[in-house]
Amino acid sequence: MSSRPSSRHGFAGTTALVGIGATEFSKSSGRSELRLATEAVAAALDDAGLQPEDVDGLVTFSADTNPEIELARSLGMGELTFFSRIHYGGGAACATVQQAAMAVHSGVADVVVCYRAFNERSGARFGAGVQGRPPLPTAESSQFSWYAPQGLLTPASWVAMFAQRYLHVTGATTEDFGRVAVADREHAATNPAAWFYGQPITLEEHQSSRWIVEPLRLLDCCQETDGGQALVVTGLDRARHLRQPAVVIRAAAQGSGDQQDMMTSYYRDDLTGLPEMEVVARQLWATSGLGPEDVQAGILYDHFTPFVLYQLEELGFCGRGEAKEFVRDGHLHLGGRLPTNTHGGQLGEAYLHGMNGIAEGVRLVRGTSVNQVPGTDHVVVTAGTGVPTSGLVLGAER
Amino acid sequence: MSAGTRPSPAADPALAERLGVFEGRPAGPDLEAADEVNQAMIRHWVEATGDENPVYVDTGAARRAGFAGIVAPATMLQAWTMRGYRRTKEIEQWRARGRSRAGDVTDVTDITDAAGAPDDSPLDELFGLLDEAGFTSVVATDCQQEYLRPLVLGDRLRARSTIEAVSPEKRTALGAGHFVTTLTEFSDATGATVATMRFRILRFRPGPVGAREEQRPLRPRPAITPDTAFFFEGARHGQLLIQRCASCGRLRHPPAPSCRWCRSLEWDTVASSGRATLYSFVVVHHPQVPAFDYPLVIGLVELEEGTRLVADLVGVAPDKVTIGMPVLVDMVSYDDELTLPVLRPVPDEDAR
Amino acid sequence: MSVTRATRLHDDVSVGEQLPELAVPLTRTLIVAGAIASRDYQDVHHDPELARERGSEDVFMNILTTNGWVGRFVTDWTGPGGVVEQVSIRLGAPNYPGDTMVLSGSVTEVGDPAARRDGRGDVTLSVRGSNSRGDHVTGTVRVALPRRGAELRPLPGGR
Ligand SMILES: [Zn+2]
């Protein structure tokens, strides 16, 4: 399948991911977040065969605590001509790559590194929710006023409200959520970098794990992780002369839907879709000239299992309300229609705000995943769900 | 703290069933000793217990006594795989972030270090369930150790624990509670078993809680802006107010400065009838924040007027909640500043 | 290999024999020393203020240290060649600073020497540690003692 260049997104097909690097994924790194970022970026540059002084652009999440200038100082990057941050939590992941690709394509920068590093387990834990946040008189803070005083405090609880409705409308069961977890953990079990390496789970174990927020159980929820992940983007011409085979950015897109909230978009006509992901999917397929049938593997953001089902539907891998049959037929596993989260996902490998999934997308295209999907030409990767989000289609250069 | 017990008449059979599934499961990941059996830790131990037995410090004396060399005191077994102050700090952080309400007289490190929790392990899950059911205090009650051979300098231990038993609810001198028994196998670097341990703790419901209720932390405060203040002000006066466009008359929630249909900046409010239908709901179990009672049912309703609202659903058991059920909005004052709408099920005769 | 005279021999032990009592004056420092030696940093074992906040009267001895005192109490009696093979304890009244724990014990069973082939015989002891509130610990300990004149099989070490 060849791709036709998009007139809309000039960076698509002309830019590439050329390096990936990460720290170990742990529950207590024992070092600063800046050091994690430093180590991850150094590893990614080494993977690419580039030096810190080759870097002239940096992109991260607005949620990241590591300023670009501190990272540049730490690694001796010298001058930068491009630095940018993406908002909305894990929704930023694939958008960092899009920002980098746009900067490279426009000539603003030549080599751009995307990074995310945190002590999310041993330091401030997202799973603890927003109860400690000061009530500031700002629009962003005031949105939590409709949930926090009522006790709807955590990401799990915000997603659970969608999930309960999804079960009611589609006839899916919590076992279908569990099938996502089982597939993730099966893949993690053979990935030495995964926290749950060697620890697959059964559907029965999923069903007997304790409730976090009904209808979500413990095994529906991602891990909390300490670690860092970095990705290097440059132009395809330069990529051809670097250490690794180029992984071409066939498409990259952001999306926010009508009546978008931060995980609490409860006021739309129905709660069984993720319109923001539909905005992303529409652009990905139009830009790349590809469709679901051209993609051999998926990295679908899995902070909580239900939204993996939603994404299968939004991306067009199955019809509306049909994700339950898709997962029951085993299509998330190796040998299935769309082996998904072959690194173990954020349930099995690590919660790196989606950035570790992009790295796995790169490995799949290079053919170096520990759970390699044979004949992978194209991989779709998504970012945080329930929030304004982003996505990628990555492909081999052939 | 004697373990004399009798069955508790108030025991919850559903809970017993949920606890039962933990029997036979691994307690958590294996614990690797950070250090070999070593003279320094032995010295701390024998000084703490005033033990002058020379086999713990003198090779010649140890050999003369029939040992292969200097040995560790047998009862020091558990110390080799304890994770020390670093682990305690992790547990403190874990508690501070509301993951657990475990408190009172606790001996949590004893058992958690013996068995690997709390780290999203089955034992952690089990403790979570017990916490949730109010059995928040812990005391170690029994320890049985069998030593298959003496440990000598240079031995490196690994501990693997399984949950052996979770008792039905018992009444004890400390209060109603459940005994949790773990079995631990200690092995050496060759994988050979060198010791086994059965460790039992009691998770119990602490005594009267009246004093604690008085100091209960307040619910999180809403962040109020000029666009949203009317809602909380209305609630304090017992009214659920909905923002209404003064130009086209459409209702909207959450509030916004401008009407999304006609772009008008002019608005006023209308009071809701309080009649609503449940559109979705959740039952929150974790994490548990002291300002709330758990399990906490929170509903998303469609008000008769057409807008949606998130509010606590009270007066109905979590397993009786169904999407589509009719509910009525009520107002509850939690403190001087905070009044919020809550949802109550409609009594049968009012339902139609 | 033979054994020093200081070790009590299996042949010399009979059921009903009382062990010499051991009085342990409980100080905060002793309790904290035991907690640290056992790597137990729970605040109830070293911080009086937090211990009281958690409903305890003061800091109290952790179970690992209690186990240690039971072991020492028994090996004081056996001498260096006694091999502790099993300890089962149950906790009761807490050990608080200012109190005294008195350990006492007696022989409840003397095993058949023919049951073992390493030149040793089993002895089972009943042990009790009491303070002013009652029994802090009750339990049983099984030790192996050398037999007079027997060729002792060396105990395995290992890595
Ligand atoms: Zn209007």
| A-to-B residue pairs, Cβ atoms closer than 8 angstroms | 144
Query: DSSP E strands: which ranges in C38-99?
Result: 83-91
What average pLDDT score do residues A65-72 get?
Answer: 97
B1 vs C34, higher pLDDT: C34
What average pLDDT score do residues C45-73 get?
Answer: 90
Band of residue B102 on the pLDDT scale cut at 50, 70, 90: very low
At residue B97, the pLDDT reads 59
Q: What is the 3-state secondary structure (H, E, C) of chain B?
A: CCCCCEECCCCCHHHHHHHHCCCCCECCCCEECCCCCCHHHHHHHHHHCCCCCHHHCCHHHHHHCCCCCCECCHHHHHHHHCCHHHHHHHHHHHHHCCCCCCECCCCHHHHHHHHCCCCCCHHHHHHHHHHHCCCCEEEEEEEEEEECCCCECCCCCEEEEEEEEECCCEEECCEEEEEEEEEEEEECCCCCEEEEEEEEEEEECCCCCHHHHHCCCCCCCCCCCCCCHHHHHHHHCCCCEEEEECCCCCEECCCCCCCCCCCCCCEEEEECCCEEEEEEEEEECCCCCCCCCCCEEEEEEEECCCCEEEEEECCCCHHHCCCCCEEEEEEEECCCCCEEEEEEECCHHHCC
With 60 as the cut, is the pLDDT of residue A50 above it? yes
- Check if the interface score ipTM surpasses 0.85: yes
B222-279 tens-digit pLDDT:
999 999 999 999 999 999 999 999 999 999 999 999 999 999 999 999 999 999 999 9
H-helix or E-strand spanning residue A232: strand A226-235
What average pLDDT score do residues B87-116 get?
Answer: 50
For residues B62 and B68, give the distance between their C-alpha atoms in angstroms, rounded to a whole number. Answer: 7
Q: Judging by DSSP bridges, how do beta strands A226-235 and C120-131 pair with one another?
A: unpaired
For residues A144 and A11, give the distance between their C-alpha atoms in angstroms, rounded to a whole number. Answer: 37
Q: Which of helix, strand or coil describes residue A56?
A: coil
At residue B94, the pLDDT reads 65
H-helix or E-strand spanning residue A16: strand A15-22
Contact B108, B102 (CB under 8 A): yes
Handedness of CA B185, B189, B191, B195 (dihedral sign): negative
At residue A129, the pLDDT reads 78
At residue A396, the pLDDT reads 96
B12-31 tens-digit pLDDT:
667 877 888 888 888 888 88
Q: Which sequence positions of A are flagged as catalytic?
A: 301, 351
H-helix or E-strand spanning residue C71: helix C63-78
What average pLDDT score do residues A207-236 get?
Answer: 96
Band of residue A217 on the pLDDT scale cut at 50, 70, 90: very high
Q: Check C3 against B190: CB less than 8 A apart.
A: no
What separation in angstroms does the CA of A6 have from each of A11, A94, A109, A288, A315?
A: 9, 19, 21, 7, 19
For residues B164 and B126, give the distance between their C-alpha atoms in angstroms, rounded to a whole number. Answer: 12
For residues B238 and A77, give the distance between their C-alpha atoms in angstroms, rounded to a whole number. Answer: 60
Q: Check B48 against C68: CB less than 8 A apart.
A: yes
| Chains C and B: 3 or more CB pairs within 8 Å of each other | yes
Enumerate residues 6+ apart whose C-beta is below 8 A from A160.
A213, A214, A215, A216, A304, B282
At residue B107, the pLDDT reads 34
At residue B119, the pLDDT reads 59
Q: What angle do CA A215, A360, A204 make, to 5 degrees?
A: 30
Which chain A residues contact residue B21 at CB under 8 A? 208
Domain assignment of residue C4, yes or no = no
For residues A143 and B222, give the distance between their C-alpha atoms in angstroms, rounded to a whole number. Answer: 9
Q: Could you tell me if B312 lies within 8 Å of chain A, comparing CB atoms?
A: yes
B residues 41-100 closer than 8 Å to C (CB): 41, 44-45, 47-51, 53-55, 61-62, 64-69, 73-76, 78-79, 82-85, 87-88
Q: Check A150 against B298: CB less than 8 A apart.
A: yes
Q: Check B79 against C64: CB less than 8 A apart.
A: yes
Q: Check C70 against B3: CB less than 8 A apart.
A: no
C149 vs A312, higher pLDDT: A312
With 60 as the cut, is the pLDDT of residue A7 above it? no
DSSP string, A328-375: HTTTTSTTSSS-B-TT-HHHHT--STTHHHHHHHHHHHHT--TTPPTT
> What proportion of chain B, given as a percentage, has pLDDT over 90?
56
Q: Could you tell me if B310 lies within 8 Å of chain A, comparing CB atoms?
A: yes
Contact B301, B278 (CB under 8 A): yes
Q: If we measure between CA atoms, which residue out of A261, A32, A37 comes closest to residue A152?
A: A261
> What proportion of chain B, given as a percentage, has pLDDT over 70?
84
At residue B12, the pLDDT reads 67
Q: If we measure between CA atoms, which residue out of A276, A227, A240, A252 comes closest to residue A117?
A: A227
Domain assignment of residue C12, yes or no = no
B73-97 tens-digit pLDDT:
999 999 999 988 888 787 777 666 5
Q: What angle do CA B230, B231, B236 make, to 5 degrees?
A: 95
In angstroms, what separates the C-alpha of B223 from chain A's closest C-alpha? 4
Q: How far is ligand 1, taken at its centre, from the CA of residue B257, in Å?
A: 11
B residues 92-131 closer than 8 Å to A (CB): 93, 97-99, 119-120, 125, 128-129
Enumerate residues 6+ apart whose C-beta is below 8 A from C114.
none
| Chains A and B: 3 or more CB pairs within 8 Å of each other | yes
Work out the mean pLDDT of chain A and round it to a whole number: 95
Residue of chain B with shortest Cα separation from A165: B280
With 50 as the cut, is the pLDDT of residue A135 above it? yes
| Residue of B48, B82, B147 lying closest to C85 (CB–CB) | B147
Band of residue B168 on the pLDDT scale cut at 50, 70, 90: confident
Q: If we measure between CA atoms, which residue out of A39, A68, A58 comes closest to residue A97?
A: A58
Q: Check B323 against A218: CB less than 8 A apart.
A: no
With 60 as the cut, is the pLDDT of residue A133 above it? yes
What average pLDDT score do residues C16-27 get?
Answer: 94
With 80 as the cut, is the pLDDT of residue A23 above it? yes
Q: Could you tell me if B301 lies within 8 Å of chain A, comparing CB atoms?
A: no
> In the 8-state DSSP scheme, what is residue A74?
H
A350-385 tens-digit pLDDT:
999 999 999 999 999 999 999 999 999 999 999 999
Band of residue B206 on the pLDDT scale cut at 50, 70, 90: low
Enumerate residues 6+ apart whose C-beta is below 8 A from B85.
C39, C41
Which chain A residues contact residue B223 at CB under 8 A? 135-138, 141-142, 144-145
Q: Could you tell me if A144 lies within 8 Å of chain B, comparing CB atoms?
A: yes
Domain assignment of residue C8, yes or no = no
With 80 as the cut, is the pLDDT of residue B98 above it? no
At residue C115, the pLDDT reads 84
Which chain B residues contact residue C68 at CB under 8 A? 45, 48-49, 51, 73, 75-76
At residue C57, the pLDDT reads 85
Say which CATH class B13-32+90-204 falls into: alpha beta
For residues B212 and B210, give the distance between their C-alpha atoms in angstroms, rounded to a whole number. Answer: 5
Domain assignment of residue C48, yes or no = yes
Residue B80, CB half-sphere, CA atoms under 13 Å: how many? Answer: 29
At residue A200, the pLDDT reads 96
C-alpha C65 chain-centroid distance: 10
Where are the domains positioned within chain B? Answer: 13-32+90-204, 229-350
Classify C43 in phi/psi space as left (phi over 0), alpha (psi -120 to 50) or beta: alpha
Q: Which domain covers residue C58, as residue numbers?
A: 17-148
What average pLDDT score do residues A81-109 get?
Answer: 98
At residue B207, the pLDDT reads 57
Q: Check B150 against C86: CB less than 8 A apart.
A: no
With 50 as the cut, is the pLDDT of residue A277 above it? yes
Work out the mean pLDDT of chain B and round it to a whole number: 84
What separation in angstroms does the CA of C143 have from each of A126, A277, C17, C23, C118?
A: 52, 69, 15, 22, 13
What average pLDDT score do residues A8-17 get?
Answer: 94
Q: What is the pTM of this model?
A: 0.64
At residue A84, the pLDDT reads 96
Q: Which of helix, strand or coil describes residue C146?
A: strand
At residue C136, the pLDDT reads 94
B114 vs A211, higher pLDDT: A211
Residue where the block lists tokens 């949730």? B132
What separation in angstroms does the CA of A125 have from each of B17, B96, B288?
A: 32, 11, 14
What average pLDDT score do residues A124-128 get?
Answer: 80
Q: What six digits make up the tokens of A105?
A: 């394509």
A145-204 tens-digit pLDDT:
999 999 999 999 999 999 999 999 999 999 999 999 999 999 999 999 999 999 999 999
| Residue of A128, A145, A164 lying closest to B282 (CB–CB) | A164
H-helix or E-strand spanning residue C125: strand C120-131
Band of residue C9 on the pLDDT scale cut at 50, 70, 90: very high
Q: Where does A15-123+222-396 sit in CATH, by number? A: 3.40.47.10
B277-312 tens-digit pLDDT:
999 999 999 988 888 999 999 999 999 999 999 999
At residue B96, the pLDDT reads 63
Q: Check C41 against B88: CB less than 8 A apart.
A: yes
With 60 as the cut, is the pLDDT of residue A12 above it? yes
Q: Report the DSSP beta bridge partners of residue B31.
A: B159
In angstroms, what separates the C-alpha of C114 from chain B's closest C-alpha? 19
CATH number of the domain enclosing C143: 3.10.129.10
Q: Check C93 against B105: CB less than 8 A apart.
A: no
B34-58 tens-digit pLDDT:
999 999 999 999 999 999 999 999 9
At residue B110, the pLDDT reads 38
Which chain B residues contact residue C92 at CB under 8 A? 1-2
Residue of chain C with shortest Cα separation from B40: C37
Classify A316 in phi/psi space as left (phi over 0), alpha (psi -120 to 50) or beta: left
Q: If we measure between CA atoms, which residue out of A233, A259, A256, A253 comes closest to residue A244?
A: A233
